[in-house]
Every structure is written in structure tokens, then in C-alpha cells.
Structure 1
Amino acid sequence: MTFAIHRRSLGALAAAAGLPVAARAQGAWPDRPVRLIVPFGAGGAVDTLSRSVANAFPQHANGQPMVVENRSGAGGTIAGGVVATSRPDGYTLMMADLGANAIGKMLQPSLSYDPLTAFTPIIHLVNLPLVIVTRPGLQATTLPELIELAKRRNGEMTYASPGVGHASHLSAELLARLAGIRWQAVHYRSGADVMRSTIAGETDWTFPSVSTSLPFIRENAVRAIAVSTAAAVPALPGVPPVGATYAGFSSATWHGVVAPAGMPADVTLAANRILRTIMLTPAVKEAAERVQAAQVVAGTPEEFASFIRTDAAKWEPVIREGNIRAE
């Protein structure tokens, strides 16, 4: 398995060339507009994050614009295919996520590219925590009560999912494995459809991002009973982690930026530096944390590459043992 930047340490590359290499990268890239391919439609959480980064980009990138291009469909793999076959020159980037950039080949064996070899990881931007929310009137106000109800209903409980292989879907299936239960996924096309179905009582519960569900939780349209992260989420005080019931459980939707495999190390370093600066700018960071309940990461390319490998390995047995397929 070969991420484009794994074989040699980026730190070693920079050190071997000396400080002038960093300066050269900063001066040379970018010298024209940069395209950011977003694997989901306009208006959602990923698009909002992408446009926040793009709006700040010229100020830190030689005045060059970042042009956001939405390429939705097939769980993000349409966008992934576009980027995987683009020139690795730093001018076509992708807002990465779990499906298109980590587990797509597991879900779709016929996929034209391998997410674990087709990209150069640049930066892990954020993790978006998930939260279990139940429909109005469901007789379960805690996670243990939800599990007990699912046992009594013997596989007939339903949950809404925004798509096969989405972090929400896989998190629900991982929870079922840990609890020794079965429930039925009902797949929709978007997070908005998921929330609508749960509020209307078409499905019993769902596992959306906090950012998607928070307005409905605050309006008491749904009930929040557990968050997916290892620790409590500040936006939902008093809502316990799933890990308080099932030790070690932790999941999130994540996003970062990748390029086609083979991008030169100096351009990777320059892109990481610019995007990290943007993400840690107080206005951008505060908006991500406040509006999207995001956990800002903004680490190194090597850290992002390691994270992608680890997350893919985490979900592989869930996908394999559940025979989960997107085709």
C-alpha cells in the first residue's frame, strides 16, 4: 500500500533540501487558481466547510483563488475518480471523506481506483461527531433502553442512514455488533432526508452528525441520547458518549484535503502549510467549532495518511462481516 508521501518522511525531505526548499515551494505554489473538488452537493456541511476554506485561501496563497466544484454522487467516488486521474501538480485537490478516500474499494470492488493508493494526503481538517437521535414517542430515553427495545423487537427496529457506507451507517452497524443485536437500515439520499424520516416517525432513530441534527434537537423534534466520540460534545452537554455503555466505541465523520498520488513533496508541504494556517485562523476555526460542532485537527500530511489507513482498517471487518456493498 503506497500513499504518495509515505515512503520517506516529509520532515526528512524538507530537512535534506534545507529551508530554501520550503521557501521555493511557498513561492512557486500556487501561481494560478486551485480547484477543490467536493464530493457532495452544495449547501451541506462539507460544502460549507469547503467554501469557508476557499474564501480564506487567496489571503494566504499568493492571491490565487480556490474554486469549489461540487461533484456529488456514488458516495463521493465520482469526485474521487476525477481527482485520482488528474495531474498531481497541486492544482486539483479534493475535500476528502471516508467513502471516497478510505473504504470505497471495500464497498465497491469494481471501483476504478483504490482510495488507499490513489491520493496524496495533505491535511486532516476536522472530525464531525455523530449523535444518536430517536423519533418522537420512541420509548427509549437512553442508549441502554434503545438496545433493550431493539432486542425485544427482534431485528425489526429501523434506523435512517444517509447512504451505504456513510460513517452514520457503519457506526450503527458497529454498535449492533457490540450490542449483539440486529436492526434494519433504511437508506436515504441526504442528511436532510434522514432527519425528516426520523422526525416523521418513518424510522425509529438515526446517527447523524451533530451539526445536521443540532437544530432539531434544540427544537425537541428528536431526542439525543448518545454521542459517538470518546468524550462528551460541548454542543450537547449532558448527552453521554456511546463509549460509556460500550467501552472503546468512537466514530466520526471526517474531512481533509488530498491530491492525486505522486504530488511532489515540496508542493504537499506548501499546501499543508497554507491550509493549516487557514484552518487555525480564529474566524475559520471558531465557525467550524461553533456552527458544525467540529473538532479541528489541522495536522501534518503524514498524520493524515496514518489516520486514513487506521480508519480504513477499523471499518474493514464491519463491512466484510456485514457484507455491506454499495453496488
Structure 2
Amino acid sequence: MAITLRRRALGATAFAAALPGIGRAQGAWPDRPVRLVVPFGAGGAVDTLSRTVANAFPQHANGQPMVVENRSGAGGTIAGAVVAQSRPDGYTLMMADLGANAIGKMLQPSLGYDPMTAFTPIIHLVNLPLVIVTRPGLEAATLPELIDLAKRRNGEMTYASPGVGHASHLSAELLARRAGIRWTAVHYRSGADVMRSVIAGETDWTFPSVSTSLPFIRENRVKTIAVSTANPVPLLPGVPPVAATYAGFNSATWHGVVGPAGMAPELVNQANAALRAIITTPAIKEQTERVQAAEIVAGTPADFAAFIKAEAEKWEPVIREGNIRAE
């Protein structure tokens, strides 16, 4: 009888271990290093946020390290494909982004995964406001003046974008729809190239994140026009929101953490708790708000899932009616 019971116990253990996520969700997570795949290159705002999280991770995750892996390219969808195809065991996560995790399929119909079903939302970390900045000599100092100038130029005004489908690009197109105007996008490979083009006068304006443009704003190398969020940005006192001219306009770059689809709920909650503790640590919160003008969110997995769905719905008509494609 003892032998039979022991065999049954061993069989049950083996069965549980064979089911993805079940064993891990019950135990302490993590018990080995966690990989965080980042859809952009080293040195940018997303990479900075990722490494801030990774540096604090061991203190909130059983002493285990988080290893940042940069997989840039194709609007973040290269990284998205890597994570979508990974095991849902909590050891491969992704720093989520609009392109890779919400609208990638709209921009690239042949994309090998569907952002709305390929991931498990874990936590919405931050929103990063955008700001309209122009080349120094442009004959516009306010948003109404910028729009009036664009109307007179009848589509010939140019704005710099860090890539098709980036929040900066889509926000500029959303603004054009609200204002009933046309202007021309000029796409570059990075935020640094975007700022260089505006400062050099190659393009008229851009809609970068505050963190990307703030050093150039403080050096008076560009002119500030308006911020993208519904409320003013404390780091840019006196700069009005676009919503002051076009009611309801609200846009931002956002980042959070997702895993592959199919993660066990208990595992998702463990990851959410660890990451929420990191981003709300007073020193990290203060640094992120001060350096990147970030709004800390830190909600539940369900909150993040609802937000991603809302973002996809918000940008779908802009992409469809503008015939915007990344292919």
C-alpha cells in the first residue's frame, strides 16, 4: 500500500510539473534570473527606465537579478515576437510599448503575432508626456499660430518622427485630424536624430517626449509650443496643453511590463507586486518624475489590460484613415 501511495504521489508531482505555469505559480517567484526584453536600443528613455527597474529588482524578488536585453527594430515588434513565443513561466518579460503591444498588427498586417492576444499584461508603469517643439526660426510661438501656418503652407510643413507608428508620429497625425490640416512626416531612426533635424532646420517641428527634448529646451535650442497631456507638465511651467486649444486631446508615450500569453494568475500577481513596489519606491518615483517627467501609474493587471485595449481603439481610426503602414 505504501508503495502504491508513493507512486501516486510521484505521478501527481510529475503531472503538475508538466503543466505550464502551475508549479511556478504555487512557489516562490523568481528562483533564477528574469530576462526583461526591451524593444529599443541602449541609452534612450525606455532603456533608462528598464535599467532603473532592473537595478532595484533583486530587493523585491528573492535576491534574483533582472537581465535587460535590448532587441530593437521594426517598431518594437522584433522584441514582441521574441516574448510572444517564450514560455509563460515568468522568466521572460517585456517592457511594453504602444507599437509592439497594442497597434503592431494594424501597422504590419503580416506581423506574426497579434498584440491583443499574444501577451499577459502585468503592470502599467508610467506615462511620458510629449511636447511640441519647433525649430528656432519658425514663425509660430503658439499652437494656434502653428496650425495657421500649416494651413497656409497647405501640407508642406514638415515634422520629424522617430518612426512610423511611434506615439510621436500618431500624435502629430491626430492633431492634424483635429485641426483639419495636412503636414508631412519625415521619419528618422532615433529620437536623437529627430532633435538634430529640428535644431538644424531640416524639419519644422516635432512631438518628442519631454525627457528627450528637455535638455534642448533648457538650452533654448528649440521653441516649446504645447504639451500633449490633458494637464500642464510641472517640468515645463507656462507651456499650455494642446487640450487648451483642442478640448479632450490627450496623448503620451507609455510603458509597462507584460509576459507571454498564458501566465498563471498567481504568478502575474507576484510579478505585479514586485514591480509595483519598485516603481513606487520614493527615490525611484522621484527620480523618474524629475528626470523623465513621468506620471507613475502602477495599477493592477486588469487595469493595464483595459488601458492597452483603449489605446488600440483610440489609434485604430488614425491609422486606418491615414493609411499608415510600417511595411
TM score, norm. by length of structure 2? 0.92
Amino acid at match of 1:156: E
Give secondary structure in 1 for the equivalent of 2:303: helix
How far 1:25 sits from its partner (Å)? 5.2
CA positional deviation for 1:123 = 0.1
Q: Do 1:289 and 1:295's aligned partners in 2 also have CA atoms closer than 8 Å?
A: yes
- Superposed CA offset, 1:201-221 (max 9, x none): 000000000000001001000
- On the 8 A contact 2:289/2:295 being kept in 1, the answer is yes
2 CA distance for matches of 1:243 and 1:230?
6
Aligned to 2:34: 34
2:263 aligned partner: 263
Spell out, residue by residue over 1:133-158, the C-alpha distance to the aligned partner (whole angstroms, 9 max, x if none): 00011000000000000000010000
Gaps in structure 1 of 5+ consecutive residues: 1-23
Q: Does 1:76 pair with 2:82?
A: no
Aligned to 1:170: 170
What is the one-letter code of the residue matched to 1:146?
A: L
Corresponding residue for residue 136 of structure 1: 136
Q: Deviations over 1:64-83 (max 9, x none)?
A: 00000000000000000000
The answer to whether the 8 A contact 1:216-1:222 is kept is: yes
Partner of residue 95, structure 1: 95
Displacement after TM superposition at 1:91 (Å): 0.2
Equivalent position amino acid for 1:61 in 2 = A
* Larger Rg computed on CA atoms: 2
Q: Is the 8 A contact 1:38 1:94 kept in 2?
A: yes
**Secondary structure of the corresponding residue to residue 28 of structure 1:** coil
- In the other structure, the counterpart of 1:54 is 54
1:300 aligns with 2:283: no
From the superposition, tell whether residues 44 and 26 of structure 1 become closer, same or farther in structure 2 (CA, over 3 Å).
farther
The aligned residue for residue 186 of structure 2 is 186
The residue identity in structure 1 corresponding to 2:297 is: V
1:177-221 per-position Cα deviation (integer Å, ceiling 9, x unaligned): 000000000000000000000000000000000000001001000
Residue 246 of structure 1 pairs with residue 246 of structure 2: yes
Shift of 1:258: 0.1
Higher deviation after alignment, 264-273 or 279-288: 279-288
Aligned mates of 1:51, 1:153 — CA distance in 2: 43
Give % identity.
Answer: 85
**8 A contact 2:125–2:279 mirrored in 1:** yes
Runs of 4+ in 1 over 3 A off after TM superposition: 24-27
**Corresponding letter in the other structure for 1:53:** V
Which amino acid in the other structure matches residue 145 of structure 2?
Answer: E
Q: Which residue is equivalent to 2:106?
A: 106
Structure 2's unaligned 5+ residue stretches are 1-23
Deviation at 1:287, TM superposition (A): 1.1
Deviation at 1:229, TM superposition (A): 0.1
SS of the residue aligned with 2:197?
Answer: helix
Q: Deviations over 1:11-33 (max 9, x none)?
A: xxxxxxxxxxxxx9585110110
1:176–1:182 Cα contact (<8 Å) kept? yes
Which residue in the other structure is 1:15 paired with? none
In structure 2, C-alpha distance between the alignment counterparts of 1:126 and 1:201, rounded to whole Å: 32
Are 1:121 and 2:114 counterparts? no
Q: What residue in structure 2 maps to residue 318 of structure 1?
A: 318
> How far off is 1:113 after superposition?
0.2
Residues 66-114 of structure 1: per-residue CA shift (max 9 Å, x gap): 0000000000000000000000000000000000000000000000000
* SS across alignment from 1:123: strand
1:21 is matched with none
Counterpart of 2:14 in structure 1 is none
Query: Aligned partners of 1:282, 1:192: CA distance in 2, in Å?
Result: 30
How far apart, CA to CA, are the structure 2 residues paired with 1:311 and 1:285?
A: 24
- Say how many residue pairs are matched: 304
**Matching residue of 1:6:** none
DSSP-derived class of the 1:90 partner? coil
Contact 1:26 1:270 in 2 (8 A): no
Q: Is residue 40–residue 73 contact of structure 2 (8 Å, CA) maintained in 1?
A: yes
Residue pair 2:120, 2:263 contacting (<8 A) in 1 also: yes
> Deviation digits for residues 215-252 of structure 1, max 9, x if unmatched?
10010000111000000000000000000000010000
Decide whether the 8 Å contact of 1:107 with 1:165 is kept in 2: yes
CA displacement, residues 18-69 of structure 1 (integer Å, 9 cap, x when unaligned): xxxxxx9585110110000000000000000000000000011000000000
Q: Which residues in structure 2 correspond to 1:272-287 (within 5 Å)?
A: 272-287=272-287
Letter in 1 for 2:241: P
Question: Distance between the aligned counterparts of 1:123 and 1:114, measured in 2?
Answer: 19
Displacement, 1:317?
Answer: 0.1
Aligned to 1:5: none
* One-letter amino acid of the counterpart of residue 272, structure 2: N
1:222 aligns with 2:222: yes
**What value does the CA root-mean-square deviation take over the aligned residues?**
0.9
